[in-house]
Homo-oligomer: A and B are copies of this chain.
């Protein structure tokens, strides 16, 4: 139970910080953090909540299939299946999904190509890549309205314990071995998106 509370607090801290940046417009976005491995459980944001508020009902515990692990009236986020793919396929400990104007614009500008690559940027070290001309790439998948179809397309890109996928005109999903790494990946990508767009205005 202590572990449960610790993970809850970690996720609540991330939710608070991202909410301050307005990265959950119109109740969008969802967050998850792994609690246990045997049996596999994770905390995920409840559906339809105003993420600017902090309550006892912000998260609920779900099992490896994304179903409530306890008796609750709360519904897991509609996109819980994406988080399920992450925890089933990797050793990730935390996963974050947010909508920002810049990640949406990037996803539309490069959606037909199917990915965008960044290189020659210091912030790429956040991904653990330390060479001078390190490159980081993020796939862009179509935004299937049918969540299981979306989860299938998404799962093709879930191969490592830390990673990220852009969903076209929808948002970014990132994951990492723990909460700090997931947030680091998220902030690094958002910085790259904003940098890329601003620079492109002058080119």
Query: Which A residues are within 8 Å of any B CB, using their own CB?
Result: 17, 21-22, 25-28, 50, 52, 99, 101-102, 104-105, 108-109, 120-123, 126, 130-132, 143-145, 167, 169-171, 180, 183-185, 187-188, 190-191, 194-195, 197-202
Q: Compute how far the CA of A25 lies from the CA of B144 in the bound complex, rounded to whole angstroms.
A: 31
Contacts A132-B144, A132-B145, A188-B26 given; does A199 touch B122 at CB 8 Å:
no
A104 to B122, CA, bound (A): 10
Most buried by B among A131, A144, A199: A199
Complex alpha-carbon distance, A170 and B167, angstroms: 28
Cα(A28)–Cα(B127), bound, Å: 12
Contact B195 A50 (CB under 8 A): no
**Which residues of the other chain, B, contact A194 by a CB distance below 8 angstroms?**
101
Q: Which of B17, B28, B122, B197 contacts A126 (CB 8 A)?
A: B28
Given A101-B195, A104-B195, A167 and B21 contact (CB-CB distance below 8 Å) = no
Residue pair A122, B201 in contact (C-beta under 8 Å): no
CB-defined contacts of A52 to chain B, threshold 8 Å:
17
Q: Which one of B22, B132, B145 lies within 8 Å of A131 (CB-CB)?
A: B145
Residues of chain B with a CB closer than 8 A to A17's CB: 52
Q: Is the CB of A184 within 8 A of B27?
A: yes
Contacts of A21 in B (CB 8 A): 22
